[in-house]
Amino acid sequence: MSKTPAETTVSGECPVCAARLFRPSSVEETEMLTCDECRSALVVDRRVDGLMVLGEAPRIEEDWGE
């Protein structure tokens, strides 16, 4: 039985808490995600054979006009 696009997913591991994340296969590199377990902000660094390689998203720091 073939899967429809809505059922196709990719997985990855949160680099903060090691939870397994599943997202639709339409997820793209540089896309921002939130971990379902620890709520950390993550970014898709790359995709390899149906897997997402995730990293922590850069923290936004205040710009004091410098």
Q: What is the pTM of this model?
A: 0.76
Residue 66 pLDDT grade (very low, low, confident, very high; cuts 50, 70, 90): low
Q: Which of the pair, 46 or 65, is modelled with greater confidence? A: 46
Contact of 5 with 25, CB cutoff 8 Å = yes
Interval 10-63: pLDDT, tens: 999 999 999 999 999 999 999 999 999 999 999 999 999 889 999 999 887 776
For residue 37, the one-letter residue type is E
Regarding beta strands 32-34 and 20-24, do their DSSP bridges make them parallel or antiparallel, or are they unpaired?
unpaired
| Token pair in block for residue 61 | 């720091």
| Complete domains list, the chain, with CATH | 8-56 (2.20.28)
Three state DSSP letters for the chain: CCCCHHHCEEEEECCCCCCEEEEECCCCCCCEEECCCCCCEEEEEEEECCEEEEEECCCCCCCCCC
